[in-house]
C-alpha cells in the first residue's frame, strides 16, 4: 500500500507549479479584461465622434440647403441691418429706402397717384406746439417718423381736456398726450413733425379698424396679413390671418403663430391689391409692405413699410416663395431703370398739397431729395408685360 501511494504521488505535479500556472492564467485574464475595457472605451469615443460628425454633416447639409434657396427672412434681416449703415452714408435722404419711413411723405406720394389717404387736420413741428382743443371729438395723433404703434395714438374726447384711446383702455389729458410723444422722442423711437388725422372707421368693425398689410414685390402681391387689434398697442390682444391676393386662406404660415380664420376678408380686397401693386411699383425698391384700412369710404392708405418688424420667419415653403418674389422684383426693377425708369420714388402727376408744416425742408427753396420726382402713372406704375 505504501509503495502504491508513492507511485501515485510521483505521477502528480507539484502544488507550487499548479499555483504558479493558475496565477499566470489569472493575470492574463485580468490583462484581457483591461484590454476589453480599453477597447470598449475607444468604441464609445468613436461612436460619440461619429455622432458629432453625422450631426455636423446634417447641419452643413441644412445650411447649404438654406443658403441655396431664396429666403424672405434673409432679405428682411439683411435690410434691417444695412439700413442702420445707410443712415450714416446717406444723411441727405437720396436713397429710396430713406424716403419710406415718413408717414406724411408717403401720404403725399399716395395722393399724387390718386390713392385715398386720411385727411390731415393739423401739423406741428414740435411736441410743445400740440394743441388738441380745436380738434374734433375723435382723431389720431401721429409722429411722422416711427414704426409700429410707438408714434400713433387714436383718441376720443370724453370731457374738456380729457381723452381716451378709442377702445377706452387708457385716458390722457392734453399735457399727458404731449408727454407721451415727448418721452418717445427722447428715446429716439419716433421723430417729428407731428400731426393729427381723421379717425377712420371700418364698416361693421370695432373701434380699431383691422389692418390689411399687403406684401408687395414691385407690382407682385404674394400674401396679405389681416391683423385685428383688441386694444391699441397691446400685442397680447392681436390676432391675425394670412390670405392670398384673391382672399384664399394660407393657414398657419408664420412659424409658431396661430391664426384666426374668423377675421373676415375685406370687401374692398381687390381694390386694396391694386393699390398695393401701384404703390410698390412707385416706391423704387424691390419690396414694400403696403398697410391699408377698409373704411366706410373704401380702402385708405395707412403706411408704407420698408422692413416689417416682429416675427417674419415664415414656414420654409412660404419663406422661399417670398424670397424668390423679392429677387425677381429686384431684377424687374433693374430692367425698368435700364429701360428709362427714373431711379427712386416716383410721385404721380396729380397735384396735391404738401402736408408738412411750413418750416419743413420740403417747403424750402432748395428741398433737395424732398422734392418729388413726378411722372405719369401710365409710364411706370401700372403692371407692365414682361418679355
* Shared-domain flag, residues 240 and 282: yes
pLDDT at 218: 97
CB 306 within 8 A of CB 207: no
pLDDT at 59: 67
* Shared-domain flag, residues 230 and 173: no
Our CA angle for 172, 174, 175, nearest 5°, is: 95
pTM above 0.75, yes or no: yes
Domain assignment present for residue 2? The answer is no
Helix (H) or strand (E) holding 183: helix 174-186
Last residue of a domain, one of 197, 232, 256: 197
Successive 10-residue mean pLDDT values, the chain, 387 residues:
59 67 81 84 81 69 68 95 93 93 96 96 96 95 86 94 90 96 93 95 77 96 90 75 96 90 92 96 97 91 92 94 97 96 95 95 93 91 56
pLDDT at 53: 67
DSSP state of 261: T
* Shared-domain flag, residues 220 and 270: yes
* Shared-domain flag, residues 193 and 282: no
Cell 422722442: give the residue.
185
Grid coordinates belonging to 278: 401701384
Question: Which of 274, 238, 141 lies closest to 196 in space, CA to CA?
Answer: 141
Q: What is the CATH number of the domain that holds 222?
A: 3.30.470.20
* Shared-domain flag, residues 217 and 184: no
Domain assignment present for residue 247? The answer is yes
* Shared-domain flag, residues 160 and 226: no
* Shared-domain flag, residues 82 and 140: no
Domain assignment present for residue 231? The answer is yes
Last residue of a domain, one of 168, 197, 226: 197
* Shared-domain flag, residues 187 and 217: no
User: Measured between alpha carbons, how far is 340 from 380 in angstroms, rounded to an integer?
Assistant: 9
* Shared-domain flag, residues 129 and 227: no
Number of domains in the chain: 2
Last residue of a domain, one of 197, 222, 239: 197
Q: Which residues contact 191 (CB under 8 A, 6 or more apart)?
A: 143, 144, 145, 146, 185
Contacts of 327-331 spanning 24+ positions with Cβ under 8 A: 327/70, 327/286, 328/217, 328/220, 329/217, 329/218, 329/219, 329/220, 329/286, 329/287, 330/218, 330/286
Domain assignment present for residue 57? The answer is no
Rg over CA atoms, the chain: 35
Domain residue limits at 256:
72-98+210-348+357-380
Amino acid at each position: 500500500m505504501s509503495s502504491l501511494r508513492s507511485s501515485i504521488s510521483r505521477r502528480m505535479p507539484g502544488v507550487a507549479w499548479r499555483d504558479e500556472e493558475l496565477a499566470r492564467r489569472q493575470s492574463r485574464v485580468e490583462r484581457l479584461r483591461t484590454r476589453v475595457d480599453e477597447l470598449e472605451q475607444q468604441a464609445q469615443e468613436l461612436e460619440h465622434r461619429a455622432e458629432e460628425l453625422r450631426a455636423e454633416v446634417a447641419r452643413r447639409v441644412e445650411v447649404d440647403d438654406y443658403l441655396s434657396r431664396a429666403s424672405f427672412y434673409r432679405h428682411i434681416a439683411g435690410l434691417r441691418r444695412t439700413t442702420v449703415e445707410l443712415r450714416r452714408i446717406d444723411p441727405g435722404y437720396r436713397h429710396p429706402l430713406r424716403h419710406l419711413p415718413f408717414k406724411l411723405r408717403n401720404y403725399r406720394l399716395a395722393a399724387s397717384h390718386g390713392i385715398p389717404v386720411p385727411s390731415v387736420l393739423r401739423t406741428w413741428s414740435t411736441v410743445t406746439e400740440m394743441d388738441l382743443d380745436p380738434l374734433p371729438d375723435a382723431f389720431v395723433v401721429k409722429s411722422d417718423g416711427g414704426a409700429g404703434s410707438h408714434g400713433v395714438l387714436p383718441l376720443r374726447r370724453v370731457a374738456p381736456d380729457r381723452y381716451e384711446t378709442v377702445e377706452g383702455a387708457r385716458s390722457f389729458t392734453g399735457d399727458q398726450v404731449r408727454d407721451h410723444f415727448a418721452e418717445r422722442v427722447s428715446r429716439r423711437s419716433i421723430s417729428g413733425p407731428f400731426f393729427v388725422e381723421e379717425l377712420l372707421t371700418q364698416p361693421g368693425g370695432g373701434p380699431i379698424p383691422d389692418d390689411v398689410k399687403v406684401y408687395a414685390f414691385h407690382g407682385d402681391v404674394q400674401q396679405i396679413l389681416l391683423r385685428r387689434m383688441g386694444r391699441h398697442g397691446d400685442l397680447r390682444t392681436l390676432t391675425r390671418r394670412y390670405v392670398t391676393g384673391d382672399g384664399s386662406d394660407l393657414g398657419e404660415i408664420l412659424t409658431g403663430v396661430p391664426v384666426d380664420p374668423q377675421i373676415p376678408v375685406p370687401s374692398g380686397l381687390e381694390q386694396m391689391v391694386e393699390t398695393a401693386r401701384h404703390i410698390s411699383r412707385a416706391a423704387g425698391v424691390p419690396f414694400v409692405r403696403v398697410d391699408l384700412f377698409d373704411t366706410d369710404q373704401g380702402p385708405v392708405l395707412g403706411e408704407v413699410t420698408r422692413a416689417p418688424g416682429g416675427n417674419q420667419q415664415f414656414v420654409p415653403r412660404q419663406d422661399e416663395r417670398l424670397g424668390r418674389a423679392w429677387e425677381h422684383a429686384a431684377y424687374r426693377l433693374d430692367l425698368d431703370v435700364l429701360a428709362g425708369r427714373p431711379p427712386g420714388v416716383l410721385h404721380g402727376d396729380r397735384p396735391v398739397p404738401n402736408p408738412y408744416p411750413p418750416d419743413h425742408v420740403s417747403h424750402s427753396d432748395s428741398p433737395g431729395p424732398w422734392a418729388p420726382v413726378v411722372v405719369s402713372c401710365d409710364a411706370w406704375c401700372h403692371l407692365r408685360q414682361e418679355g
